Amino acid sequence: MWRFIASRVLQAIPVLFIVITLTFFLVRFAPGGPFSTEKAVVPEVKRALEAQYQLDQPLLAQFGSYLTDLVHGDFGPSFKYPGRTVNELIAAGFPATAELGLYALLVAVVLGMAAGIVAALNPNSWRDYVPMSAAMIGICMPTFLLGPLLVLIFGLWLEWLPVSGWGEVSGDKILPSITLGAAYAAYIARLTRSGMLEVLSQDYIRTARAKGLPEYVVVFKHALRGGVIPVVAFLGPAFAGLLSGSFVVETIFQVPGLGRFFVQAAFNRDYTLILGSTVFFAVLIVVFNLLSDVLAAWLNPRLRAGLGVK
Amino acid sequence: MALLEVSHLSVSFHTRNGIARAVDDISFSLEQGQTLGIVGESGSGKSVCCYSLLGLIPRPPGRIDSGTAMFAGRDLLHCSEAELRRVRGDKIAMIFQDPMTSLNPFLRIGEQLIEPLVYHRGQSRDAARKQAIALLEEVGIRNPSQTIDCYPHEFSGGMRQRVMIAMALIAEPQLLIADEPTTALDVTVQRQILELINELRRKRNLAVIFISHDLGVVAGIADQVLVMKDGRMIEQGPVHSLFDNPADAYTRKLLAAIPRGAKSAADRSTNQDLLAVNDLTTRFNIIDHGKSSELIAVNSVSFRLRRGEVLGLVGESGSGKSTLGRSILNLIRPSSGSVCFDGEELVGRDNQQMKPLRRRMQMIFQDPYASLNPRMTIYDTLAEPMLLHGIASKTDVDQQVLKLMDDVGLARAYIRKYPHEFSGGQRQRIAIGRAIATRPEFVVADEPVSALDVTIQKQILELLLTLVERHNLSMLFISHDLAVVRHLCDRIMVMRAGQLLETAATELLWAAPAHEYTRTLLSSSQTELPEAR
Amino acid sequence: MNATRIEDYEQGTSLWRDAWIRLRKNRLAVIGGMTLIVVTLLCLLAPFVSPYGYEQQDLVLGAAGPSARHWLGTDVFGRDLLTRILYGGRISLMVGLIATGVALIIGVTWGAIAGYAGGRVDAVMMRFVDIVYALPFMIFVVLLMVVFGRNLLLLFLVIGAVEWLTMARIVRGQVQGLKQLEFIEAAVSLGLSGWTIIRRHLIPNAIGPVIVYTTLTIPSVMLLEAFISFLGLGIQPPQSSWGSLIAEGVETMEEFPWLLIFPGMALSLTLFALNFLGDGLRDALDVRTSRD
């Protein structure tokens, strides 16, 4: 098991390096520097600013010193928020994003798996059609449409729930979490359904039934383990999707999280903040992919044995 | 009173394409300690019949139309699901065909073994576990107190079937239903499992329903036999009278289809070598989770095949017999050695250099479902090799294809149909047609009948014999089935673990096998018809 | 019957026709397909369907709800919403088709080569796909659009470059699976050339999943474009796509909810249609189910 994890971590390093390199040079080659929007900056001031942020040095040297800082966990200063470091900005935005992501993941997994299991146990009945139609709506209703619609219906028309903010009024976390989680609940429902149907048609389920086991034992003890493996493997990509979804959701609901910072940084050409948050996101995504891969492999005894644990 | 009394059982499947009668008015009864064999070809309804007793057919689309099944004072067909569940695994247990897929790969075997005791008897897990270990010992699992914590994939096929049997018997049922329990196993293992079932039956006074397509196997184990075809009962009776004196024409046909005895056709071997194989070795690199290891599938094999000869190659699964066949044809590149075909060396040739020889040597594959391109009509499949090798020209290819279809016994009307519109036997005829379309001198046939029902198997074997004679073919016939090989081949080679153990003329091998392993193989595969008991 | 001409014999049912028959029986897929045709035609023929110009403003009217003159209402500049949705649909559909085309070409070539070559070539090529797969792509898409400006061509390329990975995996899996089937081995043993085997035996059998996945890629590409446009990084005004129309609608949804709802419906409806058609095709073309 440890060897498997180690090899996956080793594989993650080139990924991170590519991400950092690509982002760094993309951002540097972008037309229009961070200070070009402020009109009529005195050349001396501009040069002083550039020196302060080391923009006057050769590109490779800049890259080198950025990498060195990064290894020490230092994302550097922000261009647009003078006096604040990227570390501080990430630290300020991350809690809200993490909380939102966690709730959304919870919504996705709980709703999605429940719907998928119910559908798979009653194929081609209304208990199948209703959740699966809902899942289809979830897939065809993108986050940036679902969010405003929910705001319109539950916030503005029915006035049941607050329309924006995060942790300011009670209940203001409900709509963003549902909005972000809905699409993934839909994907997970479909995955769970097809995974469970596949497993339920296996010979060993027939064996379990022939043993006279109660239906809940057949479903939850014998079938679910195999049926959730595709779902677990999907959690990694789902997490990456949730992060990019948070750009939109945090903007719509004015959640003070990293996603909103990132979108603003992109518009402001705040080099170091873009770089910093991209690297931060990439690390998160790589870690989550790793976790979901390891978990999926661990759920399968055959693979687990191959991974070197008994 | 009988333990199980089934009368007038009918089951149908209701699908969008109509209603299919899977079981039609079947009646039988079974006493304590007796074995009933249910025999039939695929689609005869023999499995559905038994599954419906336990409520194990999917409903819908399955539906029990009529009948009763009295077991210990209750009618299984009219029980509630909860009542049936108490019977299943406790009073009536089942074992299935494929031990590879019938055990849950995600649970340790111990956990799966104790479930009937825990859920039916409410026993504690510790007590159940002790009982499970004892039972594993009894069914012949070595070191059971440790292996009980293994996962199914850590066992071989035969061992898994032993675990399945232990699992079925742990709650001491009165009736065991065994659905083709030995079909997926090698002959030597098959014999051991049959003996195990028989021994346990005697010890526990079990009643057994033994479902099989193989009359030979049933003859060896059953007291009563029920023959089914297309959902209906053909005949039923004590095993001796049924085998000695079959009343129905279909039963006679089934019995006649069992390959028995020596080759009837003449030995056409000449003194001239067509194929000389020397020191042929084929290795595979296996990469498993980053670790690479080497498998020697064919290990320094040498033999000769004479023009006109039908040479048998026998071995169990994993013996390397298929790899040898493909290595000879250069479909798998051999690692070293030499294959000399009519004076020409094949090893080391690339596809381009092989092409002129391809016409002269062809292959027939095992699985008629996988060996035909599903998107080509029979015409396309058969015309392709003819046009490629100039056997036929654009102008006369139609006639040649039609003639070829006559040759392999396919009705001309089928010429523009697709493979999925045919049965297994017909597909194998198409595949044979493709192989002889180039008018080859040498054909490798890799288990060409093992996927087919026994009556179809006989037809295809007869077709092969006819074609060998008519077209003066030489053939390497690969099979795991000794009776089939004996029926067809002039000489036989026995292969195990990549090596040839012995080669002998067929009847000589039967009379005096030189190798211990050959003796085991032969004794395991004797078809035990009643007169031999 | 003993005809001499092949054409005189009864024609069998090919798997393609089988699939077509099954697809036609699938009501949702048929409705999806028809919807798609109607939507596409309406968008293509927008200048003939709608009496209004794309930028034609009616400032006096301003934003007004649905009426007999403007079926879906008008936006804050008094522009006819239906017209804008139809023109926006052209962009959305075009992005969907072209970017999927890019993904198709790269993915199929890459996957087919990896699958057919096998061995080390395959390992290296698929490892590359694995690594690219692990990149946080949405972030890159946003970055690229920021850095290089809102360029439609770039948008096609970027989205296509994201989506080809899955296609490559699918095609490679198909080719690898097929390569092990005995009819490919039979084709080799007949002495057919590599190219003939690919053309006659591999492609016709591998193409089903490609068609299905292509159909399912279009909606995910359209979603991606809408997402980027929603963030204000994709299509630039005065041009619009469904994504940017939704973004505009969100800003004024409290006063003029139809400006959000109708473009949203247009996008969702099309995505529904594509997904239903894709699911239907998947069920219809599944070779395994037609085997028995």
Min mean pLDDT across A75-84, B319-328, B471-480 is at A75-84
Binary contact (A144, C246; C-beta < 8 A): yes
| Rounded CA separation B325/B301 (Å) | 11
Domain count, chain B: 2
pLDDT value for C67 = 75
| Rounded CA separation B238/C31 (Å) | 60
Q: Is residue B518 part of a domain?
A: yes
Nearest to C230 among A31, A248, A282 (CB): A248
**pLDDT of residue C291 exceeding 70:** no
CB C73 within 8 A of CB C196: no
Across the strands, what pairs with B36?
Answer: B209, B224
pLDDT value for B10 = 94
Query: DSSP of A172-197, one letter per residue?
Result: TTHHHHHHHHHHHHHHHHHHHHHHHH
Residue B467 confidence class, pLDDT cut points 50, 70, 90: very high
pLDDT value for A39 = 52
Residue A49 confidence class, pLDDT cut points 50, 70, 90: low
Cβ atoms within 10 Å of B526's Cβ, excluding its own: 14
**pLDDT of residue B530 exceeding 50:** no
Substitution target in A205, A207, A294, A295 with the highest count of B β-carbons within 10 Å is: A207
Q: Residues near A185 by Cβ (< 8 Å), separated by ≥ 6?
A: A107, A108, A109, A111, A112, A115, A135, A138
Domain count, chain C: 1
ipTM value = 0.83
| Rounded CA separation C231/C225 (Å) | 10
Q: Is residue B447 part of a domain?
A: yes
Q: What is the mean pLDDT of residues B468-494?
A: 92
**pLDDT of residue A307 exceeding 70:** no
pLDDT value for C287 = 41
Q: Is residue B361 part of a domain?
A: yes
Please check whether residue A142 touches C, CB under 8 A.
yes
Q: Is residue C242 part of a domain?
A: yes
Q: What is the mean pLDDT of residues C48-56?
A: 75
**pLDDT of residue A252 exceeding 80:** yes
pLDDT value for B91 = 92
**Which domain-ending residue is among B138, B153, B172?**
B172
Q: Which chains touch C (3 or more CB pairs under 8 A)?
A: A, B
3-state secondary structure of B141: coil
Q: CA nearest A186: which of A119, A103, A115?
A: A115
Q: Is residue B91 part of a domain?
A: no
What integer best gives the mean pLDDT of chain A?
A: 82
Domain harbouring C107, CATH code: 1.10.3720.10
Residue range(s) defining the domain that contains residue C227: 25-289
Q: Is residue B32 part of a domain?
A: no
| Rounded CA separation A303/A296 (Å) | 9
pLDDT value for B290 = 54
pLDDT value for B360 = 94
pLDDT (tens digit, 9 = 90+) per residue, C214-261? 888 888 888 888 888 888 777 777 778 888 888 888 888 778 888 888
pLDDT value for C202 = 87
Q: What is the mean pLDDT of residues C51-75?
A: 73
**Which domain-ending residue is among B146, B172, B198?**
B172
**Which chain A residues are closer than 8 Å to B116 by Cβ?**
211-212
Substitution target in C133, C140, C147 with the highest count of A β-carbons within 10 Å is: C147
Residue C50 confidence class, pLDDT cut points 50, 70, 90: confident
**pLDDT of residue B76 exceeding 70:** yes
pLDDT value for C141 = 77
Q: Is residue C131 part of a domain?
A: yes
Cα separations (Å) of B13 from A203, A206, A220, B48? 20, 18, 29, 10
Q: What is the mean pLDDT of residues B291-318?
A: 90
Q: Is residue B297 part of a domain?
A: no
pLDDT value for C1 = 45
CB B246 within 8 A of CB B235: yes
Q: Is residue C14 part of a domain?
A: no
Residue C46 identity (one-letter amino acid): A
Q: Is residue B184 part of a domain?
A: no
Q: CA nearest B95: which of B204, B207, B211?
A: B211
Residue B28 confidence class, pLDDT cut points 50, 70, 90: very high
| Rounded CA separation C242/C84 (Å) | 9
Binary contact (C185, B354; C-beta < 8 A): no
**pLDDT of residue C30 exceeding 50:** yes
**pLDDT of residue B499 exceeding 90:** yes
Q: Is residue C68 part of a domain?
A: yes
| Rounded CA separation C256/C237 (Å) | 20
Min mean pLDDT across A12-21, C23-32, C83-92, C148-157 is at C148-157
Among B residues 248-307, those touching chain A with beta carbons less than 8 Å apart: 288-290
Nearest to B388 among C182, C192, C287 (CB): C192
pLDDT value for C289 = 34
pLDDT value for C180 = 83
**Which domain-ending residue is among B172, B193, B217?**
B172
Binary contact (A301, B86; C-beta < 8 A): no
pLDDT value for B26 = 93
**Which chain B residues are closer than 8 Å to A124 by Cβ?**
none
Q: Is residue C134 part of a domain?
A: yes
Q: Is residue C3 part of a domain?
A: no
| Rounded CA separation B43/B453 (Å) | 10
Q: What is the mean pLDDT of residues A115-127?
A: 89
Residues of chain A with pLDDT > 90, as a percent, come to 19
pLDDT value for C174 = 86
Substitution target in B106, B169, B179, B209 with the highest count of A β-carbons within 10 Å is: B106
Across the strands, what pairs with B408?
Answer: none
**pLDDT of residue B420 exceeding 50:** yes
Q: Is residue B45 part of a domain?
A: no
Residue range(s) defining the domain that contains residue B121: 103-172
pLDDT value for A192 = 92
pTM value is: 0.83
Domain harbouring B318, CATH code: 3.40.50.300
pLDDT value for B491 = 94
pLDDT value for A54 = 66
Residue B7 confidence class, pLDDT cut points 50, 70, 90: very high
Q: Which domains does chain A show, CATH number per domain?
A: 86-261 (1.10.3720.10)
